[in-house]
Structure 1
Amino acid sequence: MKHIKILFTVFLAILGQGSSLYAQSAGSELVLKLEPRPDNPRNSEGDFVTLKDGRILFIYTRFTGASPSDFAGAYLVGRYSSDGGKTWTKEDRTIVQNDAGMNVMSVSLLRLKNGTIALFYARKNSIDDCIPLMRISKDEGETWSEPVTCITDKKGYFVLNNNRVIQLKNGRLLMPVAWHQTPAGVHFNERGKLYVYRSDDQGKSWTSSAEVANPDGVVTQEPGLIALKKNVLMMIIRTNAGFQYQAFSKDNGESWGPCGITTIQSPVSPATIARIPSTGDLLMVWNNNGLTGPLKGLRTPLNIAVSKDEGKTWQHQKILEDDPSGWYCYTAIHFVGKKEVLLSYCAGNRPKGTGLSITHIRRLNLDWVYQ
């Protein structure tokens, strides 16, 4: 009996470590880990695109020098997979050199309806000058056009997260940003004003929506977009309220209702939502951890969940990463065929100072996701 009790205790201890142990063996596999190296203190904020020859290109932000700070030097590099994301090339290919005062970072990749590939990223010159740019490739990422400046009606520091730009069925491009108005010489302003920029000419010119109203007065940051059914768009918003917020548009992103609280508990960390092509449901990746409990405010664990009712409720929740000292955020979601999905995300260790420095690419089986 004593031995049975010991075995049962061990079983409970393993179970208590979260679903990530089961995930690693059953339907979730860590396929790439990009760790810091000499003169490379951080690898982060990337995105995927599938090329016409079947390969997958992952472009991410490679920092240089000694500092992993958001304001340190960085440029964009790429890795390739020829087997659906199971394995990746060993060496980085330079995609965009650093031509900014600080860095270029935070990648969004998008296969446009005209067949070209759009690459979006931030050119960061200072704490009061950060603007999203767009480049186009007509040869499957071999070469890229000169950059187009996406925001010309305002100046300042605009945050466009990775994996955030979307294209609607009518061809319109939508780019959600947070404008952090920071006077020169003043510490970075955490409060972002939310806007959605739209383009109806394949990114050649962009027009801003009005500011998304914030009646609760919470700190809003790093918005993301998902196209819902019945011609509705939803914005998902990082806040300091212990929950994600949301806002809606019914006119293809030209105007937005006020943002309001959801039931999705969250630290000050972004959530990412994408539609699963094979089922039509929504997949969300986020930190299921609010502002209470032993892990309050921390970007751990990393969770996934599925919504079958356009984001009203979430089910099939699973834990992908659960290290209490882990720091999981800035996810990109990319579907491969009908059965697989790739996730890239920061996966460092906050106490060790590598919170945003390590990037994981994880491959999930959708049958497992739905179990």
Structure 2
Amino acid sequence: MTKFRANVTVPAIARSHACLLLSAFFLIAAIGPGTVPGASGADSPKRSDVPMTRPEEALARIDGRGSAAGFTELADGSILMAYEVAGRRGPHFATSKDSGLSWSDPVAYRAADGTPLKGSGEFNVIRLAGQGVGYVGRTSNGPDDPSHLLFYRSEDLGKTWQAPVRISPPGPFGVATTNDVIFRTSSGRIILPSYGYMKQAVAGTLNTAFEQVTGPRALGGLRKGQWIATGAHHTDPTFCWSFVYYSDDDGRRWKASRGGEVFIWDGRTMSWSMAGEPSAVEVEPGKILMVMRTNWGRLYKSWSFDNGETWMAPTPTPLASSGAPAQVRKIPGTGDLLVVWTQVGAEEMRKGFIRARLSSAVSRTNGAIWEFFQNIESILEGTRVEPGPIGFVRPEGMVVGPTEPAPERDGRYLVDLPDSYCRCSYPSAFFYRDRLLVGHTNARYTEEDKYVMPGRLIVLPISWLYGGANNMKANDQLRKMFPITK
């Protein structure tokens, strides 16, 4: 056992921080077994977390809805969902009048100028003043005016739409968002987490598109004896950086955050790395937490202390993740933070399970410590995965073209993929009264071995996030031990 020497002097501030951390440790430890899903007493049998943790508590599980979805509550109390309908182009809208348990038929709309509402794969809606609602779409006008964002406005609960205003100005790089990330801060400001991107102008990159290899190399594995792609952009060479657009007049005019873009700088290798597809939440007035997708085996985070106008350099979180986006929210009633993300560890990624587990976790410490890990959708057991060393993990199932030399691969990680293989990613997370609505891609194979991505919407009581209502008690003392400071 290591002991402090009598002549060691600990500064007062260090003693204070040490006391706080020790107090937090004992406070969390005192909760006892059974609080975090997967932890149980010696006499309690271990329950399966596949296909989800405690599925009997789900209020609804709806297939064919929820892919790339965005949600908002309308002025009449109903829920509006914009989402992707399989086999159709552009956004489709549906409403629910029973708290998300059933939905109207999907409808596609045109703006006042006669053009269909733009957008594909990243839908965002937000409630505006009166009976207003806003929708963010993305479009491109060719190589001279690449991917950019538009804001549409409706003044009648989404029944008719005005011609859009442009959010992102013309520029040489593409601009995009992920779905369900737009939100309003306590000041009334609308925040739209966004990212810029540029692609490598070289053919033959490691990329896959569903079941077809689009380059001379791809990632995949054998399912039922047949090769399928597992890449899901895991080795996409596109470089991304994060920022936000914000509006102080209900979406009529937009500004971009300033002070530099948010991406990862690795001082060891003197290189940049992408940080894209951000989601953000106001934790305290003016203090906003952003989480981002990276290629470094975990989610990264950045903070703003001026209501989204400038951002700190990103740093790693303790949340294991493949290259897939997350959603972060503040939980009504408790004020705790929620994260919903594709949780995958390094060993699982090497085996090809790149997006095989969609999880949730709660933080009562402003994002410092995460607890109450649950699986929302998974083909893998376990609800909490410890991330490996920070760095890129390449799956072993890499294949190359017929004229190239086959790569050396580690057979320990070349496993047959299960019939239930899926990609659970691009979640949405919407709190409505006593429940949480979570949508995701639900990309999978049918019994006829056809690859489909119909989307899935799961409705959960908020208590499910904590492993039960008994664990939802507010703990202001614990939160105060981890204040948000620059």
Distance 1:189 1:175 in 2: 25
Distance 1:295 1:167 in 2: 40
Shift of 1:85: 1.0
Matches within 5 A, 1:51-90: 51-62=74-85, 64=87, 74-89=89-104
Question: What is the CA deviation profile of residues 293-330 of structure 1, one whole-angstrom value per residue up to 9, with x for unaligned ones?
Answer: 36566112111111111111111111121125111111
Question: What is the CA deviation profile of residues 162-194 of structure 1, one whole-angstrom value per residue up to 9, with x for unaligned ones?
Answer: 111122122222222221124889788511122
Shift of 1:84: 0.8
Contact 1:49 1:57 in 2 (8 A): yes
In structure 2, relative to structure 1, the CA distance for the partners of 1:211 and 1:299 (3 Å cut) is same
1:32 aligned residue (62, 85, 89): 62
Q: Which residue in the other structure is 1:39 paired with?
A: none
Shift of 1:95: 2.9
2:460 aligned residue (333, 344, 364): 364
Give the secondary-structure state (helix, strand or coil) at the position aligned to 2:310.
coil
1:323 corresponds to 2:379: yes
Unaligned segments of structure 1, at least 5 residues: 1-10, 36-42, 66-73
Contact 1:268 1:297 in 2 (8 A): no
| Stretch deviating more after TM superposition (277-286 or 234-243) | 277-286
1:109 aligned residue (114, 120, 125): 125
After superposition, the CA RMSD in angstroms is: 3.0
Question: What is the CA deviation profile of residues 98-153 of structure 1, one whole-angstrom value per residue up to 9, with x for unaligned ones?
Answer: 959x9644111111356521111212455772111111111111111111110015
Shift of 1:335: 1.4
1:211 maps to a residue whose letter is E
Q: Which residue in the other structure is 1:258 paired with?
A: 313
Give the secondary-structure state (helix, strand or coil) at the position aligned to 2:54.
helix
Distance 1:334 1:64 in 2: 25
Q: Which residue in the other structure is 1:198 paired with?
A: 246
Q: How many percent of aligned residue pairs carry the same amino acid?
A: 24
Shift of 1:277: 1.6
Distance 1:212 1:191 in 2: 12
2:291 maps to a residue whose letter is I
Contact 2:181 2:279 in 1 (8 A): yes
Shift of 1:242: 0.3
Contact 1:180 1:189 in 2 (8 A): no
Q: Which residue in the other structure is 1:282 paired with?
A: 337
1:147 aligned residue (164, 170, 179): 164
2:331 maps to a residue whose letter is I
Query: Given the two structures, how large is their TM-score scaled by the length of structure 2?
Result: 0.64
1:334 corresponds to 2:430: yes
2:327 maps to a residue whose letter is T
Contact 1:334 1:342 in 2 (8 A): yes
1:233 aligned residue (284, 288, 299): 288
Distance 1:235 1:283 in 2: 12
Q: Which residue in the other structure is 1:214 paired with?
A: 264
Distance 1:50 1:82 in 2: 10
Distance 2:176 2:450 in 1: 23
Distance 2:444 2:427 in 1: 16
Contact 1:84 1:336 in 2 (8 A): yes
User: Which of the two has higher C-alpha Rg?
Assistant: 2
Distance 1:283 1:121 in 2: 26
Contact 1:267 1:297 in 2 (8 A): no
Query: How many equivalent residue pairs?
Result: 340
Distance 2:264 2:451 in 1: 33
1:335 maps to a residue whose letter is F
| Stretch deviating more after TM superposition (128-137 or 262-271) | 128-137
1:346 maps to a residue whose letter is T
Distance 1:131 1:271 in 2: 22
1:309 aligned residue (365, 377, 381): 365
Higher strand share: 1
Contact 2:357 2:379 in 1 (8 A): yes
Q: Which residue in the other structure is 1:93 paired with?
A: 107
